Structure 1
Amino acid sequence: MNTPEPRRPGQAVAEFARYLRTETTGGIILLVATAVALIWANSPLGDIYRSIREFEIGPELLHLNLSIGDWAKDGLLALFFFVVGLELKREMVVGELSNLKAATLPIVAAIGGMVIPAGIALSIGWGEPGMDQAWAIPVATDIAFALGVLAVTGSNLPSSARVFLLSLAVVDDLGAIIVIAVLFTTKFDLLAGGIAVASLLLYSWLQHKRIRTPWLYVPLAVITWVAVHSAGIHATIAGVALGLLTRVRPDPEEHEAPAIRLEHLLQPWSAALAVPVFALFAAGIEVSGESLGEVFTGALPLAVMIGLVGGKFIGIFGASVFAVRTRLATLPRGVGWRDIAALAMLGGVGFTVSLLIADLSLTGETTELAKAAVLLASAVASLTAAALLVRRSRAHSAENNV
């Protein structure tokens, strides 16, 4: 009998490289989808765009008569969050976040990058209608966009810089998931909640028993999604929960663990389909001189923009300085403070999850203004970070050639 090839240390690096390539491609498709949405929504065919987005489909049973925009937000994004859950579980068990010393810096930086933007947003928008939930909009960092910008502009940065950004973004996503679960659960159906818990326990048991057939897992995932949605919890939480319950350590006879296998299978669909389709229906805001003026004068959109661009930078960089100066953590190998500053600026690219929270927390025209603020802030943060990363990449290239 052939002995399976042992898991090599370099495999973790290979997994990260594959993740980076997929998310880079996804970031480009996401950018194209956003451009299409903006052009379509502001063209003579804009009414058709809005009609499609608001068209309801699905049975009324279990509250599944949703608009196409809501199906993209609640359904397709569940796939994105499932992949996030898989990545989070892998990072915590066998990746960077499994080593407390290595994980301390991105964890502290991510916490700073959530608390400071939320505090800035609240202080600027205090008393504005909807601000009781909209403070959460600048909390999130978009993995696909951030990694895409880093891959294009920071090719000569040490690999440890990329690992730091990915770990930070994963912890950031966990924080956003908790915010969505707590902040946007307005009602709770005990029966549906019980079914959701039972489904998740069954999924965990099947993983423990090493059952592999998709004929059990796919229907179970659908049942879990429907139950979580019907319980009053945002349906994307079902994806996260299933991802976190998936096994990440391979058995001796396995070539790779189920979590890795599922990432290979589903991440391209998440990056190239689920997130771009969500963006297509979420980013289609009507842009006019008047609306742009309101974005720069209204307290709520200003809170979102300053929270994302300024708050993220101050929070991530400031928390990193605090962690290193107090000896809670050390800088990644080969990474300097100017590199951390560039990566901190890149954290201000909110996009996917920020647009989702804007949709969940606001209604009417205020939603459109908040989304416009997210798009503008993400553009400013990505362009500024790109300029900084190009300079840092050249500096590292020069150092390596000496």
Structure 2
Amino acid sequence: MSHRRRRNTHTPKAVAEFARFLRTETVGGLILLAATAVALLWANSPAGGIYQAVRDTEIGPHLLHLNLSVGDWAKDGLLALFFFVAGLELKRELVIGELSNVKAAVLPAIAALGGMVVPAVIALSVAWGDPRAGDVWAVPVATDIAFALGVLALTGSGMPNSARVFLLSLAVVDDLGAILIIAVLFTSTFDLIAFGVALLLMALYWYLQKKRVTSTWLYVPLAVAVWVAVHSSGVHATVAGVALGLLTRVKRDPFEKESPCLRLEHRLQPWSAGLAVPMFALFAAGVPVNAETLSKLTHDRMALAVIIGLVVGKLIGITGVSLLAVKLKLAVMPPDLGKRDLFAVSMLGGVGFTVSLLIADLSLDGENAELAKAAVLVASAVASLLAAALLIKRSKAHQDD
């Protein structure tokens, strides 16, 4: 995610921050792509057995259910950092960013809702009658902002700035929806005591923020304790990252150069994009790619539900609901964003990747999970290529005007 234009704050510094973050996300997207390629090559090479052995090796004490496999540590542990950064971004946007302006927030918020509901409905319709339909519908609801921003930055240089602001604002709401789905649907067991401990520790974090405490030596152990408590409660551990992000102070005091929220984003976003997400991809994207898998992707209803949900559902959901909202006068289109621009940016919504892979891992098991993840990779690749072609065309059109 990235810094967006704020109301009446279009300063050179804000523009520089926006550009800096886009460059970081572009690099992060390339690293993520490289990690995915390594995972696929490794898993499908003669050393594929080593890949599985490393991914399934358990590390950690049995106490508090922390004896997790390497793959689970990447999924539950490292991704918590990614979601913490997402939580920081969400809090900042709600307080001082685009989503703090109701008029500016309506269109991307409605678009994000359409981009979640329509793919879920389409996926459920395609897989209807299949016993896996109830598990697969949530997979195509998420958009991977790292990849989406990378494609936009590389191929949409001529697009109006409002296209970027729209995508980035939409991504914040989309992330919130995915977080809620993970928290609600994938809590199989619930330990009330552990959850109570997590709430108390979060309250302590909020209190320390309120009292302007800045000690890293205090916050790091506290954040780890919150993660352990949430994980032990049965709620997916990544929710701990989001919660702490939302509890972080956003507004800068007069004596501060930058707020804790912005400072943490600057420090942690490179670690999230450069380490946490690629390591998750390394152990999540290593799915078998053979003739049988490729054949299933063309006729298996669960796989088709994921592919059609991401590529078609996201496009229809984001574009269709946005235009309907404008027609019904529920929202207004940015003055320099045309319908064709909206169509091109909406295509990026089909890049599911990180969170879609996570939901596939959480909702399905064994071969079904592997097939669903392969479908996510194919759909994300198709959506990326289509979006890139559309963005290049629209960029040239804007440059010729």
Would you call these one fold, judging by a TM-score over 0.5? yes
**TM-score bucket of the superposed structures, by smaller chain:** over 0.9
Q: Which amino acid aligns with 1:292?
A: L
Cα offset for 1:8? Answer: 5.6
The aligned counterpart of 1:44 is 46
**Conservation of the 8 A alpha-carbon contact between 1:89 and 1:243:** yes
Partner SS state of residue 350, structure 2: coil
Q: Which runs of 5+ in 2 are unaligned?
A: 1-7
How far apart in 2 are the matches of 1:173 and 1:112? 14
What SS is found at the alignment partner of 1:330? coil
Report the Cα offset of residue 9 of structure 1: 4.1
C-alpha spacing 1:95/1:13, structure 2 compared with 1 (3 Å)? farther
Return the offset for 1:21: 1.5
Mapped to 2, the partners of 1:94 and 1:60 lie a distance apart of 43
- 171, 174, 190: which one aligns with 2:173: 171
CA distance in 2, matches of 1:88, 1:98: 10
Per-residue deviation at 1:130?
A: 3.4
Q: What is the Cα deviation at residue 296 of structure 1?
A: 1.3
Amino acid at match of 1:304: V
1:266 equivalent in structure 2 = 268
Post-superposition shift, 1:17? 2.2
Shift of 1:331: 1.3
Structure 2 residue 62 is the aligned partner of structure 1 residue 65:
no
Partner of 1:331: 333
Q: What residue is the counterpart of 1:196 in the other structure?
A: 198
What's the counterpart of residue 343 of structure 2? 341
Q: Deviations over 1:145-197 (max 9, x none)?
A: 00000000000111111011011111101000000000001111011001100
Q: SS of 1:347's equivalent?
A: helix
Corresponding position of 1:28 = 30
> So what's the TM-score if we normalise by structure 2?
0.96
CA distance in 1, matches of 2:347, 2:10: 31
* 1:308 equivalent in alignment to 2:310: yes
Match of 1:162 among 164, 180, 186: 164
1:40–1:49 contact (8 Å) kept in structure 2: yes
Q: Which runs of 5+ in 1 are unaligned?
A: 1-6
Q: Distance in 1 between matches of 2:85 and 2:109?
A: 20
Matched position secondary structure for 1:121: helix
Match of 1:241 in 2: 243
Matched-pair contact (CA < 8 Å) for 1:130–1:361 = no
CA contact (8 A) 1:317 1:340 kept: yes
In structure 1, distance between residues paired with 2:250 and 2:132: 40
Question: Cα offset for 1:12?
Answer: 3.6
- Residues 133 and 183 in structure 1, CA contact (< 8 A), matched pair in contact too: no
Paired residue for 2:87, among 82, 85, 88?
85
Match in the other structure for 2:144: 142
**1:53 corresponds to which of 49, 52, 55:** 55
Give the aligned partner of residue 398 of structure 1: 400
1:225 aligned residue (227, 250, 256): 227
The total of aligned residue pairs comes to 393
Q: Residue 20 of structure 1: CA displacement?
A: 1.4
- The match for 1:152 among 151, 154, 167 is 154
How far residue 16 of structure 1 moved from its aligned partner, in angstroms, is 2.5
Given that residues 142 and 349 in structure 1 are in contact (C-alpha distance below 8 angstroms), is that contact kept between their aligned partners in structure 2?
A: yes
Corresponding residue for residue 285 of structure 1: 287
Q: Do the aligned residues in 2 keep the contact of 1:82 with 1:241 (CA within 8 Å)?
A: yes
**Corresponding residue SS for 1:129:** coil
TM-score under structure 1 length normalisation:
0.96
Per-residue CA deviations over 1:84-103 (Å, capped at 9, x if unaligned) read 00011111111111101111
Distance 1:237 1:297 in 2: 35
Residues in 2 aligned to 1:12 and 1:246: alpha-carbon distance in whole angstroms: 21
